[in-house]
Amino acid sequence: MKRVAGMFRTSLIVLALFANGAMAQTSPLGHQKNQLPEIGVVASNAISIDRERTIGDAYMRQLRAQAPIVNDPLLEEYLQDLGNRLVTQADNVKFPFRFFWINNSDINAFAFFGGHVAVHTGLLIAADNESELASVLAHEITHVTQRHIARSIEASQNNSPLQMLSMLGGVLVSMANPEAGMAILGAGMAGAQQAAINYTRDNEKEADRIGIQMLSKSGFDPNAAGTFFGKLAERYRYKSKPPAFLLTHPLPESRIADARSRADMYAVPPQSRQVSESFALAKVRVLARYSDDVANNRDYFEKIQNHPLPAWQQAGTYGLVLLDFADEKYAQAEKTLAGLLAAQPDNLFFIDAMTDILLEQKRVDDAIALLDPMAKRMPRNRVVSLNLANALIKGRQYERAIALLKDYLLINPEHTLSYQLLADAYSESKQKMEMHQARAEFFALLSVYPKAIDELQTAYNFTGEQRLEQQRIRARIDQLREAERKLKSL
């Protein structure tokens, strides 16, 4: 309930930004100001691209603090790579996209301002192949590139502020909690409610149309959208509680049929018929590490070891390695994994698992020796860099770990796990000032500004005579206080 309440509070914050953005474009009499629109930008009168980035950043920080986000470098990299493959074929892209996992068994995905796309782990488990997963990502990417929330605001500017806030409140809360969002929509005024429903239907149709085209251009099977949607609709046809995805993305028969007919317009690329090895490994990893059904998972992994396709056979073996590791059967896990690594020495899923096994056996030097050559070939790769940094910290090579993490954070400044590792490295090496600074940045990424400021004030006490560091810390405290003030003013 705390999480739902937090999501609702976040939605109200974002609504205030929406309202400010929308109302700032009208005169007191409700007439549009005499200004030139941004050429080629959808819904620019409702909310600017810069404001959209600001809202997206604020919402993402709140989600980091309140949602069970999966901080798993392997799964992060897989999802980001998959998403980027689709984004390269999208039109009207205004900012970099960020894809992330939420550890939730519900079948759901949602997009919001600033190019953020969240995917529940339950969606990956429900998908039978990578094209099905990609079809949902393409759909959500389209919601962002077509600026559907901003267009909803623009379409609502003729409604009263109360009607607009009621409608948008339901839309935003439903992102994180569909049932709560539907309840808020139900409490809105009838006119705004009907406008929201109609506009959402139009958005969904557009997201289907453009998403299927994007899917095909990216080399995936365009039939996957209709197949996956149809499978979900059939599976939950007689359920009293459908999954979150069906609440926010209604799937009447006409929509499924339309998706299937659209797919017929595109030739199915040959590569879409191949099984993605990364998809199979990612799905198995989620089942092994982020689900509670261990007994059934072991049965499933043993079963797919006999799958006719090598990618699934390999994934089944990998899943058993992860379960053996969880059961502390390190020698058995290492022996099985050695065979997989011999066949694919650069497979990051296998490298990550072997690193964990070696570290649990206190074989830190072996772990570093495994990762060092890869770090030279793949600098700043998140899986290699973070595994190596962790191994270096355990091996008491703190300065190497710190340099590696700081280098990685230059290109990934919002990676919370990296700041946690950096704080650990500073703590173990007795660098108190730097430790508190790293912790401050971690809390700032969660919009927990009072704690971030406390950490910096503590860091200040360890500066000694370092005047430059004192100035930097004071300046950073001022920045965080301003960020906190803006958040409160909303």
* Residues that are catalytic: 140, 208
Longest CA pairwise span in the chain (Å) = 75
List strands edge to edge, sheet with 98-102: 98-102, 116-120, 109-112
Judge whether 132 is annotated as a binding position.
no
Amino acid symbol at 464: G
Classify strands 109-112 and 98-102 as parallel, antiparallel or unpaired: unpaired
- Following DSSP, what letter does each residue of 209-265 receive, concatenated? HHHHHHHHHTTS-THHHHHHHHHHHHHTTT-SS--HHHHHS---HHHHHHHHHHHTT
Q: Phi, psi at residue 184, to the nearest 5°?
A: -65, -40
Contact between residue 168 and residue 218 where contact means Cβ atoms under 8 Å apart:
no
* Residue closest to 288 by CA, chosen among 416, 463, 124: 124
Amino acid symbol at 15: L
Which residue shows structure tokens 């998972």?
297
- CA–CA separation, 315 and 279 (whole Å): 9
- CA–CA separation, 100 and 118 (whole Å): 5
Q: DSSP character for 26?
A: B
Q: How large is the C-alpha radius of gyration of the chain?
A: 24
- CA–CA separation, 142 and 127 (whole Å): 20
Residue 290 CB neighbour total at 10 angstroms = 19
- Following DSSP, what letter does each residue of 258-327 receive, concatenated? HHHHHHTTSPPPGGGGSPPHHHHHHHHHHHHHS-S-HHHHHHHHHHHTT-SSHHHHHHHHHHHHHHHHHT
Contact between residue 106 and residue 90 where contact means Cβ atoms under 8 Å apart:
no
HSE-up of 120 (CA within 13 Å, CB side)? 19
Judge whether 415 is annotated as a binding position.
no
Q: DSSP character for 128?
A: S
Judge whether 143 is annotated as a binding position.
yes
Residue 109's SS3 state is: strand
- Following DSSP, what letter does each residue of 130-153 receive, concatenated? HHHHHHHHHHHHHHHHTTHHHHHH
Annotated binding site: 139, 143, 204
Annotated binding site for Zn(2+): 139, 143, 204
